Amino acid sequence: MSIAQFSAPVAGLPKSCAEIDALAVNTIRTLAMDAVQAADSGHPGTPMALAPVAYALWQRVLRYDPADPTWWDRDRFVLSNGHASMLLYSVLHLAGVNDFDRSGKPTGRAAITIDDIKSFRQLDSRCAGHPEYGVASGIETTTGPLGQGAATSVGMAMASGWLAARYNRPNFELFTHRVWAICGDGCFMEGITGEAASLAGHLRLANLCWIYDNNHITIEGKTSLAYSDDVPTRFRGYGWNVMHVSDANDIDAVAINCAAARESDRPTLIVLDSHIGWGSPNKQDTAAAHGEALGVEEIAKTKRFYNWPEDAKFLVPDGVRERFAEGVGKRGAAARAAWSATWGSYRTKFPAEAAELECLMRHELPAGWDGDMPTFATDAKGVASRVSGGKALNGVAKRVPWLVGGSADLAPSTKTLIDGAGSIGTGEPGGRNVHFGIREHAMGAICNGMALSGLRAYGAGFLIFSDYMRGSIRLSALMEVPVTYVMTHDSIGLGEDGPTHQPIEQLLSLRAVPHLRVWRPGDARETVEAWRQAMLYTHGPSLLALSRQNLPTLAETETKAREGCARGGYVLTDCGCNSPQVILIGTGSELALCVSAQKQLTEAGIRARVVSLPCWGLFDAQDAAYRESVLPRAVTARVSVEASAAMGWERYVGISGSAIGMHSFGASAPIAALMKKFGFTVEAVVAAAKSQVSRS
């Protein structure tokens, strides 16, 4: 097909350039329309409206090599309003982005083919309804829940600054990349975006730019139904540089403002005025706004408006792919080649730093990484697992310098400061302690962004406030990125702060999240092993639920915790034979209760086994023979003990077993009074065990 047949002029460019640029923009638009129509599902309006913006950003601004989308110093592009996914898929296809697997090896195919686009939103398609990280190269993060992409981009920008601070040297600038995100009204209504923007402004993340699609439309109608924020003023208050583009179709203006953002000493917000479904004869098209296919008749009208053949589907005219190759392809290849030459010289001049960096980017751990993990003596008084967890964190940090994180204003309580490592602050990107402020939800998303950039990120808070960050934790798991969440004050054992701060249902609900490994270690040694396993687990996040109160360091864990925790659960103490009459299963602070109860049961002539089950998910992943050796099916008399919701423990104690747990909210009182009131005593465990034995 000839260029002239399907193009319309774009002001400000020579005619030949205007024609091919307009053709490319309209190709993005029509691919979105056709894909949504074929699927009879999706959002065509925003991709149509933002096609010129994405084109301007990729063609004229983005530092990105489609031939190597894993290049360390590529600019990151995040589509935070993920319902506009066809915008991203179309650009990845037209730019000719190559596909690499998660280990960084080329697969020999394109990231997004035209056949992938034709199967938009279908089973096993690379073009899912919302962009999913790991499905195809070029998708830098999973977006869908509004605001998550924007908040994640803050973590990416922080990671870029951190990598530059640690590894760049004079005349050897390995990390200079920027992070670009497109966001919509829905993103800006969500609280997570405000949290993240506030921190980004405080840190003056000059390498971050958000483009705000100010189209005044959401699913229910005009944004004026529920939203009247003065967004530019709000962001100026956050400390951002704010610019304005009055017409989303003005490619020149978009490119000029993006270029200006590069010169800012603060994060930049570009407020972009657009009309959803632009180009259609009905500029505020209802279907486009509401996430529906336009329909055959409306598509025909719109293609006619574009001077496009009405019956053509999934058409990519001659010259469009070539235009992308001349723009982002050629520019990106040159930038990557220059970077590769710098990297080659860097490896020669700074071999130790280069080796460390290669280890980081391969998502590996350095040799002897756990050589400074703490050890603990058997101690009846013991320590709180938040304290032993802090020591384990610092042990890891000594040999894994890219372990970076912090808490939501709770470091004195969560014990999660890295000693002597400095803080990431305004103009100081190279510290290792992040002060997230009281921004739990953004903290989780920012950790995701850092992890997606190669860092081993952690975020900390009270377990009860995992509710405030659930969306971010869920996306960590969905993307299978190794963020570590350190959640302390893990039960009613926190005491006097009362039921608003005492987690009840949180462990159960978190254990239900696929790929998330939830740990509730029973003493200091198990806590060290939980940290060890969290660092070794690279295909998903880990959450460590740690205590405020002291936990006895049990004699039995000295020889059993390491191997046992590596399997998620193990026999802590047995009855001297392989035929126990009852099995006591405990986690966290209640593990010691089980050990004490076993001693009383032994004195009463009852053979009891104590099983420690600090990580359900890892235990369930073991082979059947191992699980049977720990929890033999023949022993039906079982008691679980955990100061959390009892629901879910039927999985291990069976229908007839006894689950000592919480069936209500907690109360405000000292810990001893709480434990007695809610039945977490040795006497209660012994009574439940005897009852089980009498019925078996």
Give pLDDT, residue 216: 84
Q: How far apart are CA 114 and CA 127, in angstroms?
A: 10
Q: What is the CA radius of gyration of the chain?
A: 28
8 Å CB contact between 150 and 79: no
- Residue 634: pLDDT over 90: yes
Which two three-digit tokens encode residue 563? Answer: 């191997």
- Residue 278: pLDDT over 70: no
Same domain, 194 and 92: yes
> Is residue 647 in a domain?
yes
What residues act catalytically? 440
Q: Write down which residue in 308, 337, 366 finishes a domain.
A: 337
Same domain, 176 and 227: yes
Q: How far apart are CA 420 and CA 515, in angstroms?
A: 33
Residue 291's pLDDT band (cuts 50, 70, 90)? low
Same domain, 146 and 280: yes
The structure's pTM equals: 0.95
| Residue-wise pLDDT tens digits, 393-429 | 999 999 999 999 999 999 999 999 999 999 999 989 9
Residue 6's pLDDT band (cuts 50, 70, 90)? very low
| Residue-wise pLDDT tens digits, 229-253 | 999 999 999 999 999 999 999 999 9
| Residue-wise pLDDT tens digits, 80-120 | 999 999 999 999 999 999 999 988 899 999 999 999 999 99
Same domain, 494 and 628: no
Give pLDDT, residue 507: 98
| Residue-wise pLDDT tens digits, 337-384 | 999 999 999 999 999 999 999 999 999 999 999 999 999 999 999 999
Give pLDDT, residue 379: 98
8 Å CB contact between 111 and 136: yes
Q: What is the three-class DSSP state of 32?
A: helix
Same domain, 415 and 440: yes
| Residue-wise pLDDT tens digits, 637-650 | 999 999 999 999 99
Residue 494 belongs to a domain with what CATH number? 3.40.50.970
Residue 1's pLDDT band (cuts 50, 70, 90)? very low
Q: What is the three-class DSSP state of 465?
A: helix
Same domain, 581 and 437: no
> Which has more confidence, 579 or 561?
561
Give pLDDT, residue 293: 87
Which two three-digit tokens encode residue 148? Answer: 């998550």
Domains identified in the chain, total number? 3
Residue 688's pLDDT band (cuts 50, 70, 90)? very high
- Residue 282: pLDDT over 80: no
Same domain, 619 and 496: no
Q: What is the mean pLDDT of residues 679-692?
A: 98
8 Å CB contact between 486 and 655: no
> Is residue 560 in a domain?
no
Q: Write down which residue in 507, 523, 553 finishes a domain.
A: 553
Residue 275's pLDDT band (cuts 50, 70, 90)? confident
Same domain, 61 and 136: yes
> Is residue 359 in a domain?
no
* Structural domain that includes position 661: 567-695
Same domain, 293 and 421: no
Residue 653 belongs to a domain with what CATH number? 3.40.50.920
Give pLDDT, residue 17: 81
| Residue-wise pLDDT tens digits, 185-214 | 999 999 999 999 999 999 999 999 999 999
* Longest CA–CA separation in the chain, Å: 95
> Is residue 444 in a domain?
yes
> Is residue 106 in a domain?
yes
Select from 303, 77, 90 the least CA-distant residue to 181: 77
> Is residue 471 in a domain?
yes
> Is residue 540 in a domain?
yes
8 Å CB contact between 308 and 26: yes
Give the Å distances, CA to CA, from 7 to 13, 50, 251.
13, 18, 15
- DSSP, residue by residue, 662-690: ESS---SS-HHHHHHHTT-SHHHHHHHHH
Give pLDDT, residue 18: 84
Same domain, 683 and 653: yes
Residue 16's pLDDT band (cuts 50, 70, 90)? low
Residue 545 forms beta bridges with which residues?
Answer: 487
Same domain, 481 and 590: no
Question: In terms of C-beta density within 10 A (0-12 exposed, 13-18 middle, 19 or more buried), how is residue 375 classed?
Answer: exposed
> Is residue 534 in a domain?
yes
Q: How far apart are CA 478 and CA 186, in angstroms?
A: 21
Same domain, 8 and 34: yes
Of all residues in the chain, what percent carry a pLDDT higher than 90?
Answer: 91
Q: Write down which residue in 500, 521, 553 finishes a domain.
A: 553
| Residue-wise pLDDT tens digits, 445-488 | 999 999 999 999 999 999 999 999 999 999 999 999 999 999 99
